[in-house]
Homo-oligomer: A and B are copies of this chain.
Amino acid sequence: MSTRPVNPVTGLDFTPAVGDMPFTPLQREWLAKAHALGRDKFAARAAQWDQEASFPFANYDDLREQGFLKLCVPTEFGGAGADFPTYMMVAAEIGRFCGATALTWNMHICSTMWTGVLADGIAMSDEQRAEHAARRQIHFARIVNEGKLYAQPFSEGTAAAAGRAPFGTTARQVVRDGQRGWLINGKKIWASLSGAADYYGVLCTEDKGDQHPDARDTLYISVPATAEGFSISGEWDPLGMRGTVSRNLTFKDVFVSDDEQLMPRGIYFKGAQTWPAMFNTLAPTYLGLANAVYDFTVQYLRGEVPGEPPIKRRQFPTKQITVAQMRLQLESMKSLFTRAIFEAKPNPSKDEKLRLYAAHYAVMEGANDLARLGIRTCGGQSMLKHLPLERLYRDSRCGALMLPWTAELILDRMGRETLYEPGEKDD
């Protein structure tokens, strides 16, 4: 039980990863739950998933039990009905204690946000709307009633994940045993939640026979882990974020029924164009991580890390200035992130879109900046595995590499989009 005073502005007895600000009751409730869960359960377990490169099943039992799997399922379907900014700040709080849990949970949540709040904001025909309403009910019911977990495999090792080509995984419409459905073929790599998810929400391109594949025909289809023809392969021994267990998925003539379409045909493509903020959902993990690095560094220099000798190192000016630099950068990350999540919307203005890119870049690169400074100022002990800093350092490097918004692709986009209006070209 915390004995820290409650801040009257936030209603919380801790400063959340996004910083103090006024929160809605829903935000306050979930931030408090996430913080407690992370601090009391996830933090201590994080070393294990990292060491074994194993999936954090124990964390997911807690998440399921406390309702986190249905956080973004609309209330009319039995969920908590959290909106985009609420999810993002809660995710940052989870990321503060276990990066692999936050990253994988994000995949699951995205499968509920795409089908939920996002779909609500994308134009559909009445027919599409009706179709979607019926299908997502099935999907949400699995999560709400059965606690099922969804993955969202994306990368294929081609330009598709960067949004520059259609996905190579295909779905062909078939009728089997009188049932209309899809035959899925292809391969996904870096598929987080491999072997842990109950369903894999696969992005694929409709195979229309002789035609050329077209990104506008992207389908978003759920494949049960038990489906015939579905298999998982490959080693998983990476630098960081090892608990995501991001192995390869192979789909060989996998049949699924029509009801497994998570969004009507063409709607995912429209959504990705319309809702760029969706690709920012990888960022909260790293904002949380940056907070973890900062929190640990302050605690360590103050001689207050449990189990460590109570040696104060805070009195050295070089360390004070390093911590000041870390805090400067952390505040930049927090403010960009917070502004971006609150202004996230369909069809943002150019100013808002560029800020969204900036927020993503600042968080992804900033988490790594902080981690390396944290190790440098805490010194040799922090390279050892009984303290969390070396893991955070390894995990921190992963964010800037994640498609579709790698640090380099954001620089490209920002360079081009600042200097060219849409449609402009040079001769």
Q: Which of A340, A380, A393 neighbours the largest number of chain B CB atoms within 10 Å of its CB?
A: A380
Contact flags (1/0) for A4-35 with B, using CB distance below 8 Å? 00010100000100011100000000000000
A361 to B332 CA separation, bound complex (whole angstroms): 11
Contact residues on A (Cβ < 8 Å of other chain), bracket: 35 or more
A375 to B393 CA separation, bound complex (whole angstroms): 13
- Please indicate the chain B residues that have their CB under 8 angstroms from the CB of A15 in the complex: 349, 351
**Interface assignment of A146: CB less than 8 Å from any CB of chain B:** no
Q: A349-B7, A419-B302 are contacts. A319–B408 as well, Cβ < 8 Å?
A: yes
Please tell me which one of the listed residues B239, B325, B338, B354 contacts residue A327 in the complex, with CB atoms under 8 A apart: B354
- Please indicate the chain B residues that have their CB under 8 angstroms from the CB of A20 in the complex: 343, 349, 351-352
Contact B331 A354 (CB under 8 A): yes
**Interface assignment of A143: CB less than 8 Å from any CB of chain B:** no
- Please indicate the chain B residues that have their CB under 8 angstroms from the CB of A102 in the complex: none
**Taking the full assembly, how many copies of this chain does it contain?**
4
Please tell me which stretch of A73-81, A206-214, A395-403 contacts chain B, meaning at least 4 of its Cβ atoms lie within 8 angstroms of it: A395-403
- Give chain B nearest CB distance to A387 CB in angstroms: 10
Contact A418 B298 (CB under 8 A): yes
- Please indicate the chain B residues that have their CB under 8 angstroms from the CB of A377 in the complex: 408
Please tell me which one of the listed residues B362, B400, B409 contacts residue A328 in the complex, with CB atoms under 8 A apart: B362
Contact A419 B320 (CB under 8 A): yes
Contact flags (1/0) for A310-351 with B, using CB distance below 8 Å? 001011111111111101100110111011100100000101
- Please indicate the chain B residues that have their CB under 8 angstroms from the CB of A355 in the complex: 19, 331, 334-335
Contact A321 B318 (CB under 8 A): yes
**Interface assignment of A267: CB less than 8 Å from any CB of chain B:** no
Contact A368 B358 (CB under 8 A): no
**Interface assignment of A376: CB less than 8 Å from any CB of chain B:** yes
A20 to B347 CA separation, bound complex (whole angstroms): 14
Please tell me which one of the listed residues B302, B382, B394 contacts residue A394 in the complex, with CB atoms under 8 A apart: B394
A79 to B368 CA separation, bound complex (whole angstroms): 45
Please tell me which one of the listed residues B302, B332, B402 contacts residue A335 in the complex, with CB atoms under 8 A apart: B332
Contact B336 A331 (CB under 8 A): yes
**Interface assignment of A253: CB less than 8 Å from any CB of chain B:** no
A321 to B398 CA separation, bound complex (whole angstroms): 21
Contact flags (1/0) for A373-412 with B, using CB distance below 8 Å? 0011101101111000010011001101111001111111
Q: A20-B349, A238-B383, A412-B318 are contacts. A359–B331 as well, Cβ < 8 Å?
A: yes
Contact B383 A240 (CB under 8 A): yes
**Interface assignment of A420: CB less than 8 Å from any CB of chain B:** yes
Please tell me which one of the listed residues B312, B314, B376, B419 contacts residue A408 in the complex, with CB atoms under 8 A apart: B376
A195 to B361 CA separation, bound complex (whole angstroms): 45
- Please indicate the chain B residues that have their CB under 8 angstroms from the CB of A379 in the complex: 401, 406
Contact B358 A328 (CB under 8 A): yes
- Give chain B nearest CB distance to A28 CB in angstroms: 15
- Please indicate the chain B residues that have their CB under 8 angstroms from the CB of A409 in the complex: 318
**Interface assignment of A190: CB less than 8 Å from any CB of chain B:** yes
A335 to B324 CA separation, bound complex (whole angstroms): 19
Contact B301 A419 (CB under 8 A): yes
Q: A393-B397, A397-B372 are contacts. A323–B418 as well, Cβ < 8 Å?
A: yes
Q: Show 6 residue pairs from A and B whose CB-CB distance is below 8 angstroms, ordered by the A residue.
A: A21-B343, A237-B385, A238-B383, A324-B415, A331-B358, A376-B408
Please list the residues of chain A having a beta carbon within 8 angstroms of any beta carbon in chain B.
7, 9, 15, 19-21, 155, 190, 237-240, 298, 301-302, 312, 314-325, 327-328, 331-332, 334-336, 338-340, 343, 349, 351-352, 354-355, 358-359, 361-362, 368, 372, 375-377, 379-380, 382-385, 390, 393-394, 397-398, 400-403, 406-416, 418-420, 426
| Beyond known contacts A240-B383, A323-B414: 7 more, CB 8 A cutoff | A20-B352, A239-B393, A314-B419, A318-B408, A324-B412, A331-B355, A376-B401
Give me the 5 closest cross-chain CB pairs, A-B, nearest first: A320-B415, A317-B317, A331-B358, A324-B414, A239-B390
